[in-house]
Structure 1
């Protein structure tokens, strides 16, 4: 079963692609939404290794800590400075949506603009990387190519923005590969105990009704890397299997699911097993039996009831990415990257880096 979060039209879905293996990551997400729905017009979220540590929205107008390790290590000056920087970008961000709408010849409707930026550090080799990109209404709008130190416009409507921002690419690259990395190291040092923890997954088999796919749902695990697969009579099964993305939970852990499409008759004649592999311990083998399936289905009820565990996935997606979700397509030639503010990006385009003691870059346009 697919989860559809129909908060915004068109729907934006964000795929959070986290650092792998021996890597550390620092990510920031800015999300702007046009007026017309009961949702903050602007939100900002910060994550270290996929764990949310910072939150801001246009209703509360204040950057707030989301985990103890940042709360216990940074005082009022840090939060005041961070709030001021985000508020400055918020004003530009809101203006930018109007500018981009004009580029697409749109005069109304509900639209979303996402800014995603951050950096990664390979702790084994010391290699660093950065990323910065914009998305508009569920599609790529602009991204920074660190290798060529220039912006790339996947759509013609972003060409003007690209031209204005190319002059800032060098400064942006320096921030992503240097200052961002220093903040990442500091945050990892703050939260080492929490970020190094290993929490095993809780595995359940879910199904809405006898004819729907069986979902192997793993949740509550940390870190985020997990492998979920299905086996048929002890052999790996690839056909009729749909493995989903990894989503964060509200408590800093993660969840993932893998669907198996199989008819009741085939299920009775073969043994199907869900295998969940996580670094917290030995692989978990969950053999598919009628007794192990959790469902809200009741014979005679023609209205399918969504399994509670999958509803949680939708709510988590809303909470972490501020309710607006956006699928960010990863191209072979670039990675995600940090970006300057929207309208500045879209109109004036004068860029200035902040002092090194600022957790985010304050941009001027």
Structure 2
């Protein structure tokens, strides 16, 4: 994340007032790279250089869109991108890079929560520059890696980026999940928490004079709150 990352983008519209718009993004660093294609604000395909294939994160109910030769052309682009990066690096070595921390981090579930039923937690990060961010997950304060994915950065209209990380999980009562976001412009991670506690009716402890209740906070998390009653 500390290395220079260059992004080249191109938007093609069918008219001055377009019905559809598509975008292609290519980027590279000394150790990483990106090639992505999108349509109407949705991610259509991207190159996964670890798996050495083109990924199509499209829902099953649409007609599939493919990019023939997409991975091979992405590999070729990465080579030329790194060569250009060396040239730009020499010419701009004293130019301070712009950095914007994420303006919003949200955590929520894909579907309505039912205990014991498989679901997906979503960590939505937006408003940052440059790309990418790093997202890590925990369950009950233990790091989780299995079942987590993150898409490639997607550009916003203001020049910043959005990235979404997903975690497959099965909700169980009492479990606490968190997603922590790291970025060049942050001095410490931004962390959001999601808990799976059951909401119940308030109860009263007659002897102690304590009122026990449950209140909800962001992302559907519920915590126990105590309030003293004087008699």
TM-score using structure 1 length: 0.33
Greater share of helix: 1
TM-score using structure 2 length: 0.49
The structure showing larger relative contact order (alpha-carbon pairs under 8 Å, at least 6 residues apart) is: 1
Greater share of strand: 2
